[in-house]
Structure 1
């Protein structure tokens, strides 16, 4: 047997650069600024222990029995309330529970995209989204970003030449760029979706990790308010605000796609772990999540601003970056011609890793870029990591 027996879509699939870099991050003495891994110090251990006891006492059969493909009803109710707090009107019937945002995206792409369908992403965009779209054999197009997020005028120009099936976007503190799509661009993007009849897949893992008092309407809310319901599908997760090991996310589905997406979910895994769903529902019932999110915001705010200060102080002559206002990442660009993928071999010698930026581009990669995650390292580790990066400069 050889590669000729593989599906063409799988044969062409490349491994995640981030998952590969995790191997290096496990080496002794290495400081990783690579993976977007939540700090384990911010897991609500006490709350999760209480939720576990409550689940075992009150939801034992639900937690260890087969469940509905759509998801555990008490959890869907709780997520509906959570969504309303984000300005999204979502009934439990419109919520599909998934194994995190990654499966949400996989299910949506399986449900919506045919081989050759044109899908637009940001440049740069979430690496794992590119993997899913490549596996579906979508025709991936891209538009640029700036400090105000996706350049929607570029998308509008693209629409003059191409018929699009979907736009995938992380509009709030996106991965990897960390930028926020401006309110004016949000309104225009939703308007274009209605005008040109394409679907927006709004991925929102980081929206709650906001370092400022400014709030942002989701694209889903804009669509509801402007009579464009059905053109935006919203997905989010508990991975960044509760615990990634639970593998619990969700999709808010317009009525026209609910049944088919649920059938795709059935064919994929029958249902998300009943144990994880019951655990999440039990935790949400405690009412601790709001305070926990505030703790996470404060911790990541301090780390993000500290890393930015260190970068300016030690590497400001070499690297520019957008100041993070939320999320888990700092996206940086060398001020001169530079290959950050090649540089990684030198930084590994200094025992510090990051993710080279070129992997986040579907086309026209900018080799001068890199993504730094400040979520997991301590303040001392962040300081030392920047010094090691400076030492590794040629």
Structure 2
């Protein structure tokens, strides 16, 4: 399979290439957007041993000079310390404005490497080569880069589009089941926003193995939808906020869990809980929550967590990036395929959540 999806963002047009065994075509694809130059391949301690040598050989064969920079695996690498370390290494190795960064890894590596590329020398070239399902369907597409602060996730970042995104679904075979399944949380979110055939496809996924069997179709549908959103609203002024479905509560519970939950697991919790609460308010059609829970539970994704409704949860919620003038914008579903905006004072939202979530626990 080989599919090309074009992202026509306001700042740049670029291709997302979805290619089985795409790593074998890396040199060919990179040469379509870059002339020979120095390339910093930024990866982590899990992905590097699997693919860094192959990537380096491919690039070297195309006349590129490669430096592999490795960070620890995990969300904690999205930090000031690691960002500074990468930039220092780029400077020490005399990377210039004509050189580039290739992000080889999951969402953490993509976010961190993308931010480094966007600010080093006021911006150098970037290619995303995502190796997790979550990164392939979400974080590698659309140009969001970020690191975390103690106060919350992704509070320091930029919008910086890559020159190319190369997605190789076959690398997902190396993922542990939990890592594969967490990416499916984002896929269900996208399918719920789109509805139609995409939503019907997720209804056929009954196990983690089925995710892998249908990976190409799931990735393509997710990426096509996100590419359309990014083209319409690159910097999240309005329509791109729809992609935050499930993230308001999801980010807060993920932050409160302190690394115990994966991002896609937290999104699954946020997606289910918000749907349940809005269905109770009669703003979401009856039965939507059940459809969502069926899809999530079929692959073992969680619907709740002990951190939901804790002090740490509400502390994180108060730092949500979507709060403007003390108003929090949440995305909910009127029905599958019909998302809507819900803007309300943050204090009242927290009061509502405290009442509803405490009732659920009691």
**TM value normalised by structure 1:** 0.32
**TM value normalised by structure 2:** 0.35
Higher strand share: 2
- In terms of Rg, which structure is larger? 1
Bigger RCO (CA 8 Å, 6+ sep): 1
